[in-house]
Structure 1
Amino acid sequence: MASYVLAIDQGTTGSTVALMDDQGRLCASVNNEFPQHYPQPGWVEHEAADIWKSVKKGIASILRKGLCKPTDIAAIGITNQRETTLLWDRRSGEALNKAIVWQCRRTTEFCEKLKSDGHEKMVKRKSGLVLDPYFSASKFRWLLRNTKGIKTALNAGRVAGGTVDSYLIWQLSGGQRHVSDVSNASRTSLMNLATLDWDNELLELFDVPRDILPEIVPSSGVLATTQGIKGLPDGIPIAGVAGDQQAALFGQACFTPGDAKCTFGTGSFILMNTGTEPLDSHSGLLTTVAWQLGSKKPVYALEGGAFVCGAAVQWLRDELQIIRRSAEVETLARQVDDHGGVEFVPALTGLGAPHWAPEARGVICGLTRGSGRAHIARATLDAMALQNADILLAMERDLGKRMKPLRVDGGASANDLLMQIQADVLGRKLIRPQVVETTVAGACYLAGLGVGLWQKPADIRKIWQSDAEFRVKMKPQQRRQRVSSWQRALDRALIL
């Protein structure tokens, strides 16, 4: 009996393909990188063909391992870089232009004009998102205005558009299905959070025709089936899809309101489950769809991100050169008992949620004659934790209830000192999972639920296991003093 799930985790710099069994064990994982393109300052692009090639290569590599027969694969799950936008030909499946990556800032001027014209309130009310080139809508508009031969292709009905999930489903299904799950659609600024459908007013604002967009479908259930993929039998259900951060929330088994996860990567991404009704943020956070299981009500989340998290450690390594390898920061920071009054606000690319201050600049302050490399290293770890605490406490205020223990993942979650600092400044217990590839796990769980490999989320809770817990050691008075010092440094960064 088929008892494995094949997961595709399509990321910004590469694609991971993994295999999970019905006990929730990751049996194998392979990653294939592909080129990034930077044609102008602030522009970031991908070749869609490179993305698809990396996925096919990963599938072939997993199958060659011989851990299961292709016929043992019960379902395929997909998780993907969000907001990245592309157009392709419905007949050939070939991209009509390079994909515009979520990091790309080419539409900044257009988004600023929409703001100055007073449209941001409507956009946020309907989509849950702020007006920013980060999201897909303005990218669609740019592609539709700057792709060679686009008018002819549009008139012939040959243009398909979408985010990476819809492109991969199109390719995997042999062009039979043009769909996107609600979590990815909610990152476009074109979907109405209440109706879970493309919104006419938003489509008109960004000048995107509805007929090029995919059908919006749940995150779990049979969304398409494979056709014509080398090595895979036709008819394997593609049964689980979610954007990478929503997949991580699901992979962390954050199934009830108040459950939250923080992914420590180059930046940090924090999502909190808020239940089955969208929750407007009054604290500078984003409202997004977390997932939808079949015909059930969707689950929503609040999201906030810090632009610089692990990148702050890379800055210590590459620019200040006070460490040779990123992993050395923990050892160096442990040489002192605390930050010694040194503060580092890593606003190296401005500040994200809840401040949304692109003009902010990084600050190192509180230096004395006794300050050294170790104090700067410790201040860096403190800053990574403190900016996350700012976001999480804002989420608590919006939700109106105390959050549950925070679940953590991502590369920097392996840093035990950082995790203890995070628990202390947040005042909440942290839980790190055994399966740290939480985006892959989330895609597998959604797909497994979609074909009945697991019957309900409670079955996944039973197989989800923690690796370590970090309990609060800092006393409340110490926490207040630490946060107060951080806030003074933050104020300096905001007024520069």
Structure 2
Amino acid sequence: MNKIKKYILALDQGTTSSRSALFDHEVNLLSLAKRSLSQICPEKGWVENDPEEIWSTQYETILEVIRDVQIQFDQIVGIGISNQRETTIVWDKKTGKPIYNAISWSCRRTEEFCKQLKEEEKELTIYIRNNTGLKVNPYFSGTKLRWILDNVEKARERAEIGELLFGTVDSWLIWRMTNGALHVTDYTNASRTMLFNIRRLSWDQRIINVLKIPKIILPRVCSSSKIFAKVIFSNLQRTKIPISSVMGDQQSSLYGQLCFSFGETKSTYGTGCFSLMNIEKRFLISKNELLTTISCGPKGESQYALEGPIPFGGASIQWLKDQIKIIHSLDDQSIWSNMVDSSEGVYFIPDSSFDFDSEGWNPFLKGAIIGITRDSNRFHIIRAILESITFQNMDILECMKKDIGRNDVYRELKVDGNASCNDIMMQFQSNILGIPVKRPAVKERSILGTALLAGITVGFWKDVQEVQCKINEHKIFFPEMTSKEGYMKYLGWKRIYSILSNLRKSVPKVEN
């Protein structure tokens, strides 16, 4: 009699899409389904998603991978969840209906509130930095939640009497999968709210009080590795499937890259680009504007990581397609950037309105393309934008070196995400860093990370050592120039960036 095969189902709910994947015991990616997610922009700088669309697209992808592999739900032994972080959802506890759209991590609507908080609550600002690892910024969930409570009719009154619930996307998905039976999150997602004390691993009462957040609406916080709940997707299902892993997408990617030792570093090139360095149990507050966040060890135990974001990394390439229209598809950037050997002195300086060290947003001056001559063409601009992403990432990695106090803290960079498929960009990244860049054969590391932890939690795999040899296939990009040559290219971009940043600060702010 043939033994019935078992599988791990992994969900990856992202900024622009919802995806599901099935993995077998050999860690083969058997099926990957994807649905696009609408972006709602009601005002300049505001970004929202429909929470119901988040759930419906995710559910559709679950059904699709099951159909594609032609298995039964009973063959799934564990579910892992990876999700876009910081995005904020508030819903009715009784009906499960959202009271407002999900406010995206990239939404800037609370910028003025954050500025006011930093000016009036200087001690709190320092306290937040030292206890959450974050900086007061619209990026994080705390001020988004405050905005909903202050601006949606009767939201605050209802929240205070326990009629509403708050959650990041993981909480929302679990709530829907359990039909409202469970209101939880994990440490990695909680650590991105600006409300969670990552030293004590608990909601911080002082911050909650100042932001006027009723504690009753916050989810229970758990380890990333546990049986959160057991769920049913089909009436034909005989056994419930355990949700056995939950991680924020960037921490899941760090796990999927098997970065478990101190100093191991990964960069994910997606809509935003994010670099994380494992610092194990060492709690460290960056002196170079990086963030400190919770990550996961091999068994799902809480550790710390340094993080540097490039919020509009891969989105710069999307901008070329949707706004400037000098490429027709995202595949074009790989082909056309190869049409020239370099950017020929053209530099792309990104929108700096998202800087964590910025004292305020000046809409008069944002990004810039510098160095254009009559000989410059679209290929040089495409190349300059790709190089800019690598320069920004190097900026982050240099800050990590300074915080750790060692130039050799990492000897290679592990990369993933859609934009990492561009060989030219990955080669240039290796050139300017002066170290090997390793790209896995399966670039879906965020969805793989939560799948691995889900499987280890339920005993599908014994430990990470069992799976390590099965996912160790990489393409390695070695430096093709001297470290000095690469570093000089970075310094050229850095010099122009600094000049424009200083100019930005000197230009009077234009009031809308």
Tell me the TM-score normalized by structure 2: 0.90
Q: 1:319–1:103: structure 2 CA closer, same or farther, 3 Å change rule?
A: closer
Measure, in 1, the Cα distance between the counterparts of 2:330 and 2:15.
21
The CA deviation at 1:2 is 6.2
1:127 equivalent among 103, 119, 132: 132
Other-structure match for 2:418: 411
1:83 correspondence with 2:90: no
Structure-to-structure mapping, 1:134-283, within 5 angstroms: 134-150=139-155, 153-154=158-159, 156-227=161-232, 232-233=237-238, 235-283=240-288
The CA deviation at 1:410 is 1.4
Bigger mean CA offset, 385-394 vs 257-266: 257-266
1:489 correspondence with 2:492: no
Measure, in 1, the Cα distance between the counterparts of 2:339 and 2:229.
54
Q: 1:149–1:173: structure 2 CA closer, same or farther, 3 Å change rule?
A: same
Other-structure match for 2:14: 11
Measure, in 2, the Cα distance between the counterparts of 1:292 and 1:477.
35
Other-structure match for 1:379: 384
Letter in 2 for 1:304: G
Bigger mean CA offset, 480-489 vs 278-287: 480-489
> Is residue 322–residue 373 contact of structure 1 (8 Å, CA) maintained in 2?
yes
1:30 equivalent among 18, 30, 33: 33
Deviations 1:64-104 (CA, angstroms, capped at 9, x unpaired): 23532211100111111111111222333222332222122
Q: 1:41–1:238: structure 2 CA closer, same or farther, 3 Å change rule?
A: same
Secondary structure in 2 aligned to 1:288?
A: strand
- What are the ranges of 5 or more consecutive residues in structure 2 without an aligned counterpart? 504-512
Q: 1:247–1:491: structure 2 CA closer, same or farther, 3 Å change rule?
A: same
Measure, in 2, the Cα distance between the counterparts of 1:48 and 1:108.
23
Structure-to-structure mapping, 1:47-86, within 5 angstroms: 47-86=50-89
The CA deviation at 1:227 is 4.5
Q: 1:353–1:100: structure 2 CA closer, same or farther, 3 Å change rule?
A: closer
Secondary structure in 2 aligned to 1:65?
A: helix
Other-structure match for 2:98: 95
Alpha-carbon RMSD:
2.4
2:445 equivalent among 429, 438, 448: 438
Bigger mean CA offset, 321-330 vs 459-468: 321-330
Measure, in 1, the Cα distance between the counterparts of 2:179 and 2:366.
48
Measure, in 1, the Cα distance between the counterparts of 2:347 and 2:403.
28
Q: 1:65–1:232: structure 2 CA closer, same or farther, 3 Å change rule?
A: farther
The CA deviation at 1:193 is 0.8
The CA deviation at 1:370 is 4.4
Other-structure match for 2:482: 475
Secondary structure in 2 aligned to 1:24?
A: coil
Q: 1:180–1:427: structure 2 CA closer, same or farther, 3 Å change rule?
A: same
> Is residue 77–residue 239 contact of structure 1 (8 Å, CA) maintained in 2?
yes
Q: 1:235–1:200: structure 2 CA closer, same or farther, 3 Å change rule?
A: same
Letter in 2 for 1:422: Q
The CA deviation at 1:42 is 2.2
Letter in 2 for 1:393: E
Other-structure match for 2:351: 348
1:108 equivalent among 103, 111, 114: 111
Secondary structure in 2 aligned to 1:115?
A: helix
Identity %: 37
> Is residue 424–residue 472 contact of structure 1 (8 Å, CA) maintained in 2?
yes
Other-structure match for 1:45: 48
Q: 1:370–1:42: structure 2 CA closer, same or farther, 3 Å change rule?
A: closer
1:461 equivalent among 444, 463, 468: 468
Q: How many aligned residue pairs are there?
A: 494
The CA deviation at 1:156 is 4.7
The CA deviation at 1:278 is 2.1
Other-structure match for 1:288: 293
Q: 1:479–1:263: structure 2 CA closer, same or farther, 3 Å change rule?
A: same
Tell me the TM-score normalized by structure 1: 0.92
Deviations 1:407-444 (CA, angstroms, capped at 9, x unpaired): 11112211111111000101111011111111110110
Letter in 2 for 1:201: R
Measure, in 1, the Cα distance between the counterparts of 2:59 and 2:317.
34
Other-structure match for 2:340: 336
Measure, in 2, the Cα distance between the counterparts of 1:178 and 1:212.
9
Measure, in 2, the Cα distance between the counterparts of 1:276 and 1:155.
36
Measure, in 2, the Cα distance between the counterparts of 1:250 and 1:75.
17
The CA deviation at 1:109 is 1.6
Q: 1:357–1:383: structure 2 CA closer, same or farther, 3 Å change rule?
A: farther
Letter in 1 for 2:85: R
Bigger mean CA offset, 139-148 vs 104-113: 139-148
Q: 1:137–1:232: structure 2 CA closer, same or farther, 3 Å change rule?
A: farther
> Is residue 221–residue 449 contact of structure 1 (8 Å, CA) maintained in 2?
no
Measure, in 1, the Cα distance between the counterparts of 2:218 and 2:190.
10
Secondary structure in 2 aligned to 1:123?
A: helix
